Amino acid sequence: MDIATIIGILMGAGLVVWAIASKTSIATFVDPASVAIVLGGTSAAALIAFPLGQVIKIMKVVKKAFFTRPVDPVRHVTSIVRLAEVARRDGILSLESHLTDGTHDEFLVRGLRMAIDGQDPAVIEAALDQEIETLVERHAKGKALFDNIGKYAPAFGMIGTLIGLVIMLQNMDDADALGPAMAVALITTFYGALIANLFAMPIADKLGVRSGQELAIKLLIVRGIMSIQAGDNPRIVQQKLMAFLDNRQRAIVETESERG
């Protein structure tokens, strides 16, 4: 579970509720018609802009922002280096018995099995690159959905406000009702801004971060597979993969290497 996402949403929502409760009643900001305009209008716009199947899968996309496991590039580097040591010592065919224990990344296993089967390096790299490209496109679609929700929600909030203003202007003869009517008219703008800035756009940004992390791991794995397939010395394999790590992660890998 991504604690940062949970804390961020709870903190943002808590501050908004506190700010409201410290000045007035929470009930003042509750208006079913405004909620219907913003949520209903945003949902309608999403259905128009995206295929139904993609919109239906929205909860699966949300789960990636809340429940995606942290990516550990160090683990992948050490795993690939150990496999490189086995391939260097016993030959690349010996890797087959090391890929069935379920501890290795599925993408890594698929690539190494192509290498074990004797596929041409260019074919292996092209196949892995195509899988990465498909992954990036799929992630981009999920992010685009939330980017557009973040764009539509404030727009429908403004539409709700305009509707409220029209209704208010039609009742200008009742001066005492103008203040409350204006407040209700503005609530839809509040809802739209809240949905966009506390939920939709932050979720889209988090999905972008997750996608970038996964892409980096995939590229690291491809580099490792191609290096093993080329018969590189395990130390060379490790040095090639170090390019994907920051200084702290590099130090961890070096420490584990010294321990053997």
Rounded average pLDDT over 73-92: 91
30-47 residue pLDDT tens: 888 889 999 999 999 999
- Residue-level pLDDT at 4: 86
- pLDDT tens digits along 207-230: 999 899 999 999 999 999 999 999
- pLDDT given for residue 136 in this prediction: 92
Phi–psi pair at 24, nearest 5 degrees:
-160, -175
On the question of pLDDT at 177 being above 70, the answer is no
Q: Indicate the domain borders of the chain.
A: 3-65+139-200, 73-130+221-259
pLDDT at residue 198 greater than cutoff 90: yes
Give mean pLDDT, residues 145-173. Answer: 88
Cα gap 58→42, rounded to integer Å: 13
The two tokens of residue 7 are: 């804390």
Predicted pLDDT at 1: 65
Q: From residue 133, give the alpha-carbon distance in Å to each of 10, 53, 70.
A: 35, 21, 21
Higher pLDDT, residue 185 or 18: 18
Q: What percent of the chain has pLDDT over 70?
A: 95
**Res 175 pLDDT > 70:** no
Q: Are 200 and 187 in contact (CB under 8 A)?
A: no
What's the mean pLDDT when you consider all of the chain? 88
Handedness of CA 155, 160, 163, 168 (dihedral sign): negative
CA distance 186 to 163: 10
pLDDT (mean) for 136-140: 91
CA–CA separation, 164 vs 191, rounded Å? 14
pLDDT per residue as tens digits for the range 52-71: 988 888 888 888 778 777 77
pLDDT at 201: 94
Cα–Cα distances (Å) from 165 to 111, 156, 192, in that order, read: 61, 14, 16
3-state secondary structure 137-194: HHHHHHHHHHHHHHHHHHHHHHHHHHHHHHHHHCCCCCHHHHHHHHHHHHHHHHHHHH
What is the per-residue pLDDT across 89-135, written as a single tens digit (0 to 9) for each? 888 888 888 887 777 889 999 999 999 998 999 999 999 999 999 99
SS3 203: helix
- Supply the pLDDT for residue 186: 85
**DSSP readout, the chain?**
--HHHHHHHHHHHHHHHHHHHTTS-GGGG--HHHHIIIIIHHHHHHHHHS-HHHHHTHHHHHHHHHHPPPP-HHHHHHHHHHHHHHHHHH-GGGGGGGSSSS-S-HHHHHHHHHHHTT--HHHHHHHHHHHHHHHHHHHHHHHHHHHHHHHHHHHHHHHHHHHHHHHHHTTTT-GGGHHHHHHHHHHHHHHHHHHIIIIIHHHHHHHHHHHHHHHHHHHHHHHHHHHHHTT--HHHHHHHHGGGS-HHHHHHHHHHHHH-
